[in-house]
Amino acid sequence: GQQVMQIPQYQHVQEGEDFTTYCNSSTTLSNIQWYKQRPGGHPVFLIQLVKSGEVKKQKRLTFQFGEAKKNSSLHITATQTTDVGTYFCYTGNQFYFGTGTSLTVIP
Amino acid sequence: DAGVIQSPRHEVTEMGQEVTLRCKPISGHNSLFWYRQTMMRGLELLIYFNNNVPIDDSGMPEDRFSAKMPNASFSTLKIQPSEPRDSAVYFCASSPGTGEDQPQHFGDGTRLSIL
């Protein structure tokens, strides 16, 4: 079955510090999506990665898809309190959401 | 544009009662998903419809759960009889295409508490 690990489960950072969450699969993925869920809210689509080695940026967020298409990362530079929430990876070919990384930003 | 609309937003009921959750997907979206979210199990896919046809219901916990999509603009998730362990947030999401390579748009969810 699908084995997708997302780490870390929790991350507390001081405002201004960087943050990274990783998604690792035991099988090759056709694509990967990232979502953000604010506390009390619903998941919101951030981005999709399709190509091997792909890197996409959205302001302070950088998304990477590994060369083997088995792992992906989301990096936030200089976190802000508005970045608080849980970040999920999603594998489209298995309809599977990762366990999520809950980010707390300390002002 | 209207997003995915779910009702009710909150539901509190006693165990044994029937619970019906409703979802209106975004117009023109071909795929509809029902998810359950809990602290222990995270975000789990319950069932996935494409063009109103159930494609994958392997995530439906047991026979107490059923889902229907009678037309492209409406879906229901029913629990009968409900149990306390069904307490969770239930999300409906819709997507253009098959949902494999298109973004999913989530509703605000139904927060269900079974006493």
| pLDDT of B112 higher than 60 | yes
Say whether the peptide bond before residue B96 is cis (omega within 30 degrees of 0).
no
| B14-51: pLDDT as tens digits | 999 999 999 999 999 999 999 999 999 899 999 999 99
Confidence of residue A1 (pLDDT cuts 50, 70, 90): low
Lowest-pLDDT choice from A89-103, B61-75, B80-94:
A89-103
Say if residues B38 and B88 touch (Cβ distance below 8 Å).
Answer: yes
| A4-31: pLDDT as tens digits | 889 999 999 999 999 999 999 988 999 9
Residues of chain A with Cβ-Cβ distance to B104 below 8 Å are: 33, 35, 43, 45, 90
Confidence of residue A96 (pLDDT cuts 50, 70, 90): confident
Choose among A30, A41, A48: nearest Cβ to B103. Answer: A48
Beta bridge partners of B26: none
- Interface with chain B: mutation pick from A94, A95, A101, highest number of B CBs within 10 Å: A95
CA distance B19 to B35: 15
Confidence of residue A68 (pLDDT cuts 50, 70, 90): very high
